[in-house]
Amino acid sequence: MENFDTDNQREILATARELFKENKYNQAEPLLNQLILKGSKNPEIFHMLGTIYYDKGKFNKAIKAFKRALEIEPTFTD
């Protein structure tokens, strides 16, 4: 069952990544939040979410997301 969940998370991340690249932020955001709720510690997820929040003018949320990405991996850059 754990492998299924991990595979499912990879699929969700791949979908979110594609939507993000296509600037379909409203579709990518719930997928990224779903991954966070499942306990993902991938800094890329928080970076994409920060970018989405920034684009929407939600600057405090953007800062928190960017900081979280750096907490997870201090050398993370995009």
Give domain limits for the chain.
Answer: 2-72
Q: What is the pLDDT of residue 2?
A: 45
One CATH from 1.20.20.10, 1.20.1200.10, 1.10.1740.10, 1.25.40.10 for 2-72: 1.25.40.10
Cα dihedral: 67, 71, 76, 78 (round 10): -20
In this predicted model, what pLDDT tens digit does every residue of 56-76 receive, in sequence order?
999 999 999 999 999 999 988
In this predicted model, what pLDDT tens digit does every residue of 26-57 receive, in sequence order?
999 999 999 999 999 999 999 999 999 999 99
Helix 43-55, helix 59-72: angle, nearest 10? 170
Count, residues in the chain: 78
